[in-house]
Each structure stands twice: as structure tokens, then as C-alpha cells.
């Protein structure tokens, strides 16, 4: 009888003890797994995402156009002394490196005043004159000109020319070659005034930039528009 009671007591103790022992063994195993899963070395640092720079708007009240730019770009109006607003132009440069000129915008009329039949003829006079001018290029005779291709952004018509230039090795220049983009935007329709012999010149906004900066200038070009027309 005593042996039966002892066996029953042992079974009861084991029945209680096994779950407790299993619980503690499980906790120990879990702590080992957690320790093995922890990374060694320096902790991983998370760099916060950079918030895009705010946009600013440049507005030219004299010739009624505007565009948006970021704070990484510098806008600088330039006007020669004792000249009219027609001699004013603006440059867009890299704010960190002012030597990098990204874009120039100026008002341009044909260099020779005559009665052009239409704005395309007037543009050809401008592009032909300056693409073949030594004031623009060292070796203009080597230039390859394409265009115009008419584009439209924000209801503003652009006429796009590309000037593929190459410097003549005989000049000793190290500039090499490249492609300039010229965009002409008509702002004044020219021609002979009614009942008069006077001519009103065709007038354009002339945007010039190196094609390698085209992606950088996308925000400016996409937001460019004429005002109050």
C-alpha cells in the first residue's frame, strides 16, 4: 500500500514538474536564438530622405515671361550701361559654381532690318548670322545647324535649333566640340506698319544653353510661359 502511494506521489510530482521544466528550457532556447540573430559590429544608421528644394518664380515684367527655378540656381539680370531694355539679358548659373552658366535669355531682333515675309524668315536671319559669327564660335565654318523644330510648352511656341560646333585644331583651342540649343520664342510680330513705310522688327526671346545641361534645365523649360498675351 505504501509503495502504491509512493508511486502515485511520484507520478503527480512529475506531472507538475515536466511542464515547468519545459517552459524554462523553451525560454532559454528562445534567448539563444535572439542572441544569434543580433547583428554584430556597428549599428545600422538610417539617413533621412532629403526634402526637395522649394520652387521660386522669376518674372520679367518688361517682356512678360516667367519660369520656375530651385534654390540651386542663381538668376542674374544684366544690362549694359546707358542702353535700353532690349540690351538686357539674364543668366541662369549654378549657385555653388558661378562659373557654370546653364542658360542665357535675351531679347533679339534680326541683325539686319528689312521687310521679312514671316517670323520663320526673321528667325533664319538671326540664326544664320550668329551661328556663322566668330563672336559666338571660334570656327563657325565647321558648325552643323539643324532646325527649326516647332515645340509648344504651356501654350508658348518655341522654335528649336541645334548648333553642333567643332573648334578648328588650327586655332589651338582646347574646347573641342559640343552642341548648343537655341530656342526662339516670338513675342512681337514684325512687318510694315499699315499706311506707313516704317518697319516694326520681329522680336524674339532667345534662350541658349549647352545641350549637356538639358536635363538640369527641364524644370525651368517646362515651366516657361509668356504672360498677358
pLDDT for 131-148, tens place per residue?
998 878 888 888 999 999
Helix (H) or strand (E) holding 35: helix 2-37
Note if the pTM is more than 0.75.
no
Identify the DSSP state of 57: E
Please, are residues 179 and 211 in contact by the beta-carbon 8 Å criterion? yes
Alpha carbons 111 and 90: distance in angstroms, whole number = 20
Q: How confident is the model at residue 51 (pLDDT cuts 50, 70, 90)?
A: very low
Please, are residues 212 and 224 in contact by the beta-carbon 8 Å criterion? no
Please, are residues 122 and 110 in contact by the beta-carbon 8 Å criterion? yes
Q: How confident is the model at residue 43 (pLDDT cuts 50, 70, 90)?
A: very low
| C-alpha torsion sign, points 225, 199, 124, 83 | negative
Q: Which residue has the higher pLDDT, 90 or 82?
A: 90
Residue 110's Cβ-count burial label (10 Å; 0-12, 13-18, 19+) is: buried
Identify the DSSP state of 138: S
Q: What percent of the chain has pLDDT over 70?
A: 66
Alpha carbons 132 and 143: distance in angstroms, whole number = 8
How far is CA 44 from each of CA 35, 36, 37, 65, 166, rounded to the nearest angstrom? Answer: 17, 17, 15, 49, 51
pLDDT tens digits for range 150-181: 999 888 899 999 999 988 666 555 668 899 99
Q: Which residue has the higher pLDDT, 195 or 98?
A: 98
Q: Which domains does the chain have, with CATH numbers?
A: 55-226 (3.40.1000)
Which cell numbers in the block locate residue 111? 541683325
* Ranges 18-22, 82-86, 151-155, 180-184: which has the least confidence: 18-22
Residue 86's Cβ-count burial label (10 Å; 0-12, 13-18, 19+) is: middle
Amino acid at each position: 500500500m505504501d509503495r502504491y502511494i509512493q508511486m502515485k506521489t511520484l507520478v503527480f510530482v512529475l506531472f507538475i514538474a515536466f511542464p515547468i521544466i519545459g517552459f524554462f528550457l523553451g525560454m532559454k532556447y528562445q534567448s539563444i536564438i535572439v542572441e544569434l540573430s543580433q547583428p554584430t559590429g556597428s549599428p545600422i544608421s538610417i539617413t533621412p530622405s532629403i526634402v526637395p528644394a522649394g520652387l521660386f518664380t522669376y518674372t520679367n515684367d518688361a517682356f512678360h515671361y516667367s519660369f520656375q527655378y530651385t534654390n540651386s540656381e542663381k538668376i542674374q539680370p544684366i544690362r549694359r550701361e546707358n542702353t535700353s531694355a532690349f540690351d538686357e539679358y539674364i543668366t541662369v548659373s549654378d549657385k555653388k559654381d558661378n562659373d557654370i552658366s546653364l542658360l542665357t535669355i535675351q531679347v533679339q531682333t534680326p541683325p539686319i532690318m528689312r521687310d521679312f515675309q514671316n517670323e520663320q524668315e526673321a528667325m533664319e536671319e538671326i540664326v544664320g548670322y550668329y551661328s556663322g559669327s566668330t563672336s559666338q564660335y571660334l570656327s563657325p565654318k565647321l558648325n552643323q545647324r539643324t532646325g527649326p523644330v516647332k515645340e509648344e510648352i504651356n501654350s508658348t511656341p518655341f522654335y528649336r535649333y541645334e548648333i553642333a560646333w567643332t573648334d578648328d585644331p588650327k586655332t589651338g583651342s582646347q574646347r573641342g566640340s559640343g552642341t548648343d540649343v537655341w530656342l526662339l520664342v516670338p513675342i512681337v510680330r514684325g512687318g510694315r506698319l499699315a499706311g506707313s513705310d516704317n518697319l516694326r522688327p520681329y522680336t524674339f526671346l532667345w534662350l541658349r544653353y549647352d545641350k549637356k545641361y538639358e536635363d538640369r534645365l527641364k524644370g525651368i523649360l517646362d515651366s516657361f510661359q509668356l504672360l498677358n498675351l
